[in-house]
């Protein structure tokens, strides 16, 4: 990552619906150069998608909870696969600490959240769950500060 990569990523984050031609104009570089950089960033796994960011709340699921799941030893993969069949699970991660999996769950209301949790508890291999409800988002999902920090450190003398 260099300073130009950082500028490209900033534009992709801040103006996701702009054309490649317009990005090249803004950056003052050739369209081919920009496309080659974007292709490399995709190949390297830096850029992992280009779809829209959606709001679960606007989709009728304003309740956000984090559910820790403790799994019977040796059943982590099966439980992880079963979680993929639960549409209210937005994300799931294997973790260290209290529990084996951490999921982010979106629900219509508290009753719906309870139904989802009951569904999780009944999955084969699940020992117990612990749920924490989000009250208010304090820092929205973001990557630009990290991109800028990486860009600064890439340009720093070693």
Going from the N-terminus, what domains does the chain have, and what CATH number goes with each? 3-52 (1.10.10.10), 56-134 (3.30.70.920)
Q: Tens digit of pLDDT for each residue in 55-104?
A: 999 999 999 999 999 999 999 999 999 999 999 999 999 999 888 999 99
Q: What gap in Å lies between CA 38 and CA 18, rounded to an integer?
A: 14
pLDDT of residue 52: 82
pLDDT band at 154 (very low <50, low <70, confident <90, very high): confident
Residues 6+ apart with CB under 8 A from 10: 144, 147, 148
Q: What pLDDT does 158 receive?
A: 58
- For residue 63, which of 117, 12, 106, 6 has the smallest C-alpha distance? 106
Q: Is 96 left (phi over 0), alpha (psi -120 to 50) or beta?
A: beta
Contact indicator for 75, 135 with CB cutoff of 8 Å: no
pLDDT at 107: 98
Instruction: Supply the mean pLDDT for the chain.
Output: 94
Q: Name which of 141, 84, 52, 9 is nearest 1 in CA terms.
A: 9
State the Cα–Cα distance between residues 35 and 90, nearest whole angstrom.
Answer: 31
Residue 49: pLDDT band by 50, 70, 90 thresholds?
A: confident
The mean per-residue pLDDT over the stretch 132-151 comes to: 93
What is the model's pLDDT at position 157? Answer: 66
Q: How far is CA 152 from CA 4, 15, 48, 74, 112, in A?
A: 11, 21, 22, 43, 45
Average of per-residue pLDDT across 31-49: 95
pLDDT at 37 over 90: yes
Residue 41: per-residue pLDDT: 96
The pLDDT, as a whole number, for residue 1 is: 87
Each residue's pLDDT tens digit, 99-141: 899 999 999 999 999 999 999 999 999 999 999 999 999 999 9
């Amino acid at each position: 990552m260099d300073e130009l990569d950082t500028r490209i990523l900033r534009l992709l984050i801040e103006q996701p619906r702009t054309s490649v031609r317009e990005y090249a104009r803004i950056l003052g570089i050739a369209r081919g150069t920009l496309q080659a950089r974007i292709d490399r960033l995709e190949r390297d796994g830096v850029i992992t998608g280009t779809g829209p960011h959606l709001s679960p709340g606007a989709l009728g699921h304003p309740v956000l909870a984090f559910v820790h799941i403790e799994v019977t030893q040796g059943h982590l993969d099966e439980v992880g696969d079963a979680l993929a069949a639960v549409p209210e699970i937005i994300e799931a991660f294997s973790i260290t600490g209290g529990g084996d999996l951490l999921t982010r769950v979106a629900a219509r209301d508290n009753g719906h959240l309870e139904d989802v949790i009951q569904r999780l508890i009944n999955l084969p291999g699940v020992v117990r769950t612990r749920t924490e409800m989000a009250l208010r988002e304090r820092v929205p999902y973001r990557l630009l500060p990290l991109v800028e920090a990486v860009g600064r450190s890439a340009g720093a003398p070693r």
